[in-house]
Chain A
Amino acid sequence: MSETGAKPWDHAPILLVEHLTMRFGGLTAVDDASFSVGGNDITALIGPNGAGKTTVFNCITGFYKPTEGMLTLNGSDGTPFYLERLTDHEINAHARVARTFQNIRLFPGMTVLENLMVAQHNVLSRASGFSFGAILGLGQFARAEHDALDFAKSWLDRIGLLSRADDAAGGLPYGDQRRLEIARAMCTRPRLLCLDEPAAGLNARESEALSALLKSIRDEDDTAIFLIEHDMGVVMRISDHVIVLDYGKKIADGTPDEVRSDPHVIAAYLGVSDEDAAALEGGP
């Protein structure tokens, strides 16, 4: 794969990852990976199981402190955030990076709507005067809550869960939970949305709907998407840019077409699963 020539995502990257390394004791889960994520792109991170993809996400979103490397997120007004210096909640609140989890992490005992309201915590908390104001009955909070409710409803509508707003999130079918988790992340109004295997466990029809949803997020919400995905159909169909990890190392980085024909990638995938390799070679 050629690294020559500036790629579109290098011009206005929202996220710049440089020499990211993460070690757990003797195990190097991510090994000196460098890449950029474009501001208007859907970028896919692929690789066999255990390649270190989730670990990359955890470093970006502050759940792990990288052993080495720099993670720069360019803010909306151009100010950079150095993610490796921020903690997890600051990364969401200030750098505006949101994420979902490989093993869905909803608030199962709260309703669908409550899940989306919790996601707007920081806005609402400020409006409530950190609760002191609202408890004394000062204005503005009611308004802010009304707005938050509308925003949540608009998202429920988009993911087709408006009718289930008052049901417990833990009681939803699997596919709905996946979409709800994405909507919840979007309710923090992120500039970069990191999705960890959003299509895992979905049927063909649901994957189709998911692809459409992700595209609409990129195009309408002005949010860049960075996703980990094993479903090559989804990856090839919607990604602008694909990065391949194997044993923690980046082995390829380019457009879907470039990556698909990359011999390193084919080798890596052949070593793991014929199905995925076939998907890579044949395309969707």
Chain B
Amino acid sequence: MADTGKTRDQKLVSALTDSLLAAIIAFALFSLVLGLRTVDGATGLTLEPRPGLLLTVVAIVFFGRLALNLFVWQTQYPLTTPFAKLFNIEPFDRRDLVTLGAALVFGAVWFATGLVLGEAVYELLGIVVLLFVGLGLLRRWLVQRFPNLPYTQIFIAGGIIFALFFPIVTYALESVFRFGMPLRYWFDLSILILTYVMLGWGLNIVVGLAGLLDLGYVAFYAVGAYTFALLATQFGLGFWVCLPIAGAAAALWGIILGFPVLRLRGDYLAIVTLAFGEIIRIVLLNWTEVTGGPNGVAGIPKPTFFGLPFSPFAEGMTFSKFFGIPYDGLHALIFLYYLILILALVTNAVTLRLRRLPVGRAWEAMREDQIACRSLGINTTLTKLSAFATGAMFGGLAGAFFATRQGFVSPESFTFIESAIILAIVVLGGMGSQLGVAIAAVVMVGGFEALRHTAGLQAIFGEEFDPALYRMLLFGIAMVGIMVWRPRGLVSARAPTISLGDADRISGDLVRQGRG
């Protein structure tokens, strides 16, 4: 929108008018809901005016919009250009380099501030800026220098190697040097991320490959978790017995729920799957005799290392006694880490294999054009069911893992918001792309988690400030922002499943998203 026809003054005036309008709208939006706060008084609710807050927000909108107008939208040299150029091969000019340099300095300053204050949010912000610009420059330089390296494969291999060695290496380092790394926290977080990677990959089969919009995926996660929990606590079955049963139960539910709804198309399918997700949660909540109702099922046994419990006290053989090492609570955690890593990698391997089998091609063909599929003799109902059941099975396996990790399941863990997060990971990652889903899971779950450490923000905004609330708010804003920025997700190109020569990846613009 660089309008060369306008003089400077005209631009300034139009920028000011636009910003003023935005400020007025912001005032209308926030006047009541932000400017007045309902508080419990002696005689019911009373109002507490917060004019300062309201004015601050309106001012932020005004000046933010003004800055955008002046430096991005209504100028011949938008400040965003150099950042966009990071991802293509247009040559940089002096101004670009100055801007990028400034961004690097900015990131470094924020990062340093974070270090000094011991404040993860600042560090994180700094890291994000540094990584974005730094890695962008590095990538650009590499691609220009060595255009033919298989970057994606290198990246994937690097990721997998990192995931394989991360716990052992950090644990070994910590045992020897005692850096005081918060390993328990890191492992917990990685386990959480890997769980979402696995769930994302499972849902990716349904949404990304088969093009069926499922808003109730969490139902299968719940079925797996409860199946596992009940089998383990009521019948005393071991982990390795319960795990496949949980997966099978979820797959069965996938078929049971899938059967009636798969005749529906598109958004009808979406809403019915959402309804089914809610139905399952409500049943879990109210069928107290079996599921324990709101209290859930507790006392789910932790997994054992092929029969050897991780315990300092247990009678008989334990993991630490068997290997003759001192007991450490981290052992169990590391075991859980590898367990979910293996489950996730199996999910990935099976998915990649299925993509190259007739059924996988049929899923993708169905996403591209269902009518054409049927004209080629493909039974789309069965194909949809197979996608639903396969996706559900992985959801169930992840659920079983969740149950054993937590030692406790309750309906609270299986709300719609979980389905929404998993779906967001799939869509933001780039539908159908295993790599994109993994990156999105790391970014969303990791970023979400990083926002937990906001003691410093509390120092600024006061003790009442509850970062957990802002996390969800920022999560929602990120969902909207990333989608508007990249509607096709982070990795949108599609890799062919069979080729005669070296096939290129197919541009995301040609790949369809399915109509259910």
Contacts and interface: CB of A to CB of B under 8 A. Distances in A.
**Do A and B truly interact?**
yes
Interface of A: 61-63, 87-90, 92-93, 98-99, 101, 105-111, 113-114, 117-119, 121-122, 124-125, 128, 130-131, 134-135, 141, 149, 153, 162, 165-166, 168, 170-171, 184-185, 188
Nearest to B503: A166
A106 B354 contact: no
Contacts of A165: 499-501
Contacts of B372: 101, 105-107
Interface in B105-159: none
B510 to A, nearest CB: 4
B3 to A, nearest CB: 35
B357 A92 contact: no
B380 A89 contact: yes
16 contacts: A89-B376, A101-B375, A105-B371, A107-B365, A107-B369, A125-B358, A125-B359, A125-B362, A130-B359, A131-B354, A131-B359, A131-B386, A134-B353, A141-B357, A165-B499, A184-B376
Interface of B: 350, 353-354, 357-359, 361-362, 364-365, 368-369, 371-380, 386, 494, 496-504, 506-507, 510-512
A118 B499 CA distance: 13
A196 to B, nearest CB: 11
A97 B278 CA distance: 43
Contacts of A101: 371-372, 375
A69 B24 CA distance: 67
Contact of A99 (B375, B379, B498, B504): B375
Contacts of B364: 107, 109-110, 114
Nearest to A105: B372
Nearest to B353: A135
A121 B362 CA distance: 7
A111 B499 contact: yes
B496 A188 contact: no
A101 B370 CA distance: 13
A249 B357 CA distance: 45
A61 B499 CA distance: 31
B374 A89 contact: yes
A111 B496 CA distance: 7
Contact of A111 (B354, B369, B506): B506
Contacts of B502: 166
A141 B365 CA distance: 20
B77 to A, nearest CB: 35
Contacts of A119: 376
B259 to A, nearest CB: 16
B498 A149 contact: yes
Given A109-B506, A114-B496, A117-B361, A98 B375 contact: yes
Given A98-B375, A110-B506, 9 more contacts: A89-B375, A92-B377, A101-B371, A108-B512, A110-B365, A114-B364, A118-B365, A124-B357, A184-B376
A119 B374 CA distance: 10
Contacts of B358: 121, 124-125, 128, 131
Given A61-B375, A88-B375, A118-B361, A113 B499 contact: yes
B371 A114 contact: no
Contacts of B507: 168, 171
B498 A113 contact: yes
B171 to A, nearest CB: 34
A34 B504 CA distance: 49
A92 B374 CA distance: 8
Contact of B499 (A98, A99, A162, A166): A166
B378 to A, nearest CB: 5
B357 A188 contact: no
Contacts of A108: 368-369, 510-512
A42 to B, nearest CB: 20
Contacts of B353: 134-135
A141 B375 CA distance: 24
Contacts of A166: 496, 499-504
A105 to B, nearest CB: 4
Given A107-B372, A118-B361, A168-B510, A89 B500 contact: no
A124 B359 CA distance: 9
A101 B376 CA distance: 12
B369 A106 contact: yes
Contacts of A111: 496, 498-499, 503, 506
B368 A109 contact: yes
B369 to A, nearest CB: 5
B508 to A, nearest CB: 8
Contact of A121 (B378, B499, B501, B504): B378
Nearest to A127: B358
Nearest to B500: A165
A117 B357 contact: no
Contacts of B500: 113, 153, 162, 165-166
B328 to A, nearest CB: 38
B377 A121 contact: yes
A184 B507 CA distance: 22
A82 to B, nearest CB: 17
A162 to B, nearest CB: 8
Nearest to B501: A166
B375 A117 contact: no
Contacts of A185: 375-376
Given A114-B361, A114-B497, A117-B361, A63 B377 contact: no
Contacts of A170: 510
A106 B511 CA distance: 11
A121 B498 contact: no
Give the most central of A88, A134, A141, A162: most B CB within 10 Å.
Answer: A88
A171 B510 contact: yes
Contact of B368 (A63, A93, A107, A153): A107
Contacts of B357: 124, 128, 131, 134-135, 141
A124 B354 CA distance: 13
Given A117-B498, A166-B501, A89 B377 contact: yes
